[in-house]
Structure 1
Amino acid sequence: MGLIMKLVRVIYVVYAAIIFLGIMFLILPPIFLASLLGKEKGGNIIFYFLRFWAHVWFPMAGMPVRRIYECAPEDKEPCIYVVNHRSYLDAAIAVKVMRLPFRPLGKVEMSKIPFFGFIYKNSVVAVDRSNAPARARSVREMMTALKAGISILMFPEGTTNESDQPLRPFHNGAFRMAIEMQIPIKPVLYLDAGDRLPHTGPMNLNPGKCRVVFLPTIPVAGLTLDDINDLKQRVYEVMDSALRKHRHYPSLQHAG
């Protein structure tokens, strides 16, 4: 039985990969044309093609994506989405569920992947964390997007969370930008992405539900840079509490 299940898993992963690549190559030509229109206008058009890709791929891969709102309906003002990071599926889920237009912050290394890298670098704000001037350029690009009414999506943990706890410690970037730009923060939770595509590798991709929880917006009006740590802690506690409500996690062990 174990051998049969392994064979079924391999067949499923190959099937999902073929669908993934097939749709990607289908939308590559119009994405190339849209990229000629520039980062702002062209980037917004590109996201409609990416949304088409996501709306086709997730159901065909047996991963129904469901939004859960624990807040009032979204308004149309730009915001900074802060999202927990469990899986390489996270960016793809964002394309399917986030209100357009938006730009995710992503690792520059992903832009080196053949074909996919072209789509990636034209649809995200890529950041090279090892290069200070490159980080500064990424910040300027995000600020330009926000001024143009384009929301930003950031993973405040900085990297995928491979622990048994809901969240890793947060970095300051999203909260500094929110305060400097006076842009509200919208916490969002991906409940099942880590189950669908664990960090153990792509061969562990599996079908199943993908729930996305939208939490109430956290305003930053009137806050100053002196309030970064308080704001970061507030958002962390809101997201941690909501994740624990929706999923079971081991209790933290306190010394003493």
Structure 2
Amino acid sequence: MRLLYTIWCASWFVALYLVLFPFQFVFLQRENWKPLAHKVNYVWGMLFFIGVGMPVRVERRFRPDPKQVYVFCANHFSYLDIAAMGVIVKNYYAFVGKSEVKHIPLLGYMFAKLHVQVDRSQPNSRAYSLAKSIRTLASGRSIMIFPEGGIRATEPPQMVPFRDGAFTMAIQQQVPIVPVTLLNNDLILPDRSPIRFHWHPLRAVIHPPIDTKGMTQEDLEQLKEETYKIIDNELMKARKSESVKE
């Protein structure tokens, strides 16, 4: 049954995107239309979770102002995280992710046009993506990033140390960091072979923002540590609660 459910999830994911891509393609042709392409991604994500019968339960301890700019930081244990963030965070943002996505037909075209790519094989790519992210923030558009630098944790829910990029750009542009805890995506779609979807309600928490006004790069480690602790504490609390129920 788990294999059948996985096939249905994958088929529904692809079929939806094929139907919605023509609209997205049109909206990607002009810069001032790109927010509409972003909304197509939101519709795609919502219809996906509805179609696979998976409730999305978000505890919004903070509701981001759609007119404000933020750096959204979330833990990253599963490939489902990208789709999840697309429905959890409704602001217009650019996702910072690995450039390998651009090789996926259609999806790669959208990613290259709408988001910020990091090519880990190129030595200057991180500096380039950081500079582009800073320009994106300066233009009035938020950034969404996984500060672990990819799916690197070997024993979720224990995260690996955060990298500096998200916090460097937030301090430089003096915009708030908004921590987001993805509580159980690694249980729904674990990062291991064979790939299998497991049915669970998707759960997440949007935390209150951390203000960076007045901070300098000397405050980077403190900001990074505070963000890590907020997400980590929520992960540990959720897993402890689940183990008690079991």
Global fold match (TM > 0.5): yes
- In structure 2, C-alpha distance between the alignment counterparts of 1:32 and 1:164, rounded to whole Å: 36
Note if contact 2:156-2:186 (Cα within 8 Å) is conserved in structure 1: no
Which of 144, 149, 153 in structure 2 is aligned with 1:158? 149
Count residues with an aligned counterpart. Answer: 239
Corresponding position of 1:78: 69
Distance verdict in 2 for CA 1:164–1:30, change over 3 Å: closer
Alignment of 1:3-18 (within 5 A): 8-18=1-11
Query: Secondary structure at 2:154's aligned position in 1?
Result: coil
- In structure 2, C-alpha distance between the alignment counterparts of 1:129 and 1:150, rounded to whole Å: 24
Note if contact 2:28-2:114 (Cα within 8 Å) is conserved in structure 1: no
Corresponding position of 1:111: 102
Corresponding position of 1:252: none
Which of 189, 209, 226 in structure 2 is aligned with 1:197? 189
Note if contact 2:179-2:227 (Cα within 8 Å) is conserved in structure 1: yes
Structure of greater Rg:
1
- In structure 2, C-alpha distance between the alignment counterparts of 1:133 and 1:215, rounded to whole Å: 33
Which of 214, 225, 237 in structure 2 is aligned with 1:245? 237
Note if contact 2:54-2:201 (Cα within 8 Å) is conserved in structure 1: yes
Corresponding position of 2:169: 177
1:10 alignment partner AA:
L
Cα displacement (A) at 1:53 = 0.7
Cα displacement (A) at 1:199 = 0.3
Cα displacement (A) at 1:164 = 3.8
Q: TM-score, normalised by structure 2?
A: 0.91
Corresponding position of 2:220: 228
Cα displacement (A) at 1:202 = 6.2
Note if contact 1:162-1:199 (Cα within 8 Å) is conserved in structure 2: no
Note if contact 2:70-2:175 (Cα within 8 Å) is conserved in structure 1: yes
Corresponding position of 1:137: 128
- Structure 1, 124-133 or 59-68: larger mean CA deviation: 124-133
- In structure 2, C-alpha distance between the alignment counterparts of 1:59 and 1:208, rounded to whole Å: 13
1:48 alignment partner AA:
K
Note if contact 2:77-2:185 (Cα within 8 Å) is conserved in structure 1: yes
Which of 17, 22, 26 in structure 1 is aligned with 2:19? 26
Cα displacement (A) at 1:69 = 2.1
Which of 83, 88, 96 in structure 1 is aligned with 2:79? 88
Distance verdict in 2 for CA 1:59–1:163, change over 3 Å: same
Corresponding position of 1:214: 206
- In structure 1, C-alpha distance between the alignment counterparts of 2:7 and 2:201, rounded to whole Å: 19
Corresponding position of 1:188: 180
Distance verdict in 2 for CA 1:174–1:18, change over 3 Å: same
- Structure 1, 116-125 or 219-228: larger mean CA deviation: 116-125
Moved over 6 A (4+): none
Corresponding position of 2:47: 56
The percent identity for this pair of structures is 31
- Structure 1, 195-204 or 146-155: larger mean CA deviation: 195-204
Cα displacement (A) at 1:244 = 1.3
CA-based RMSD of the aligned residues comes to 1.7
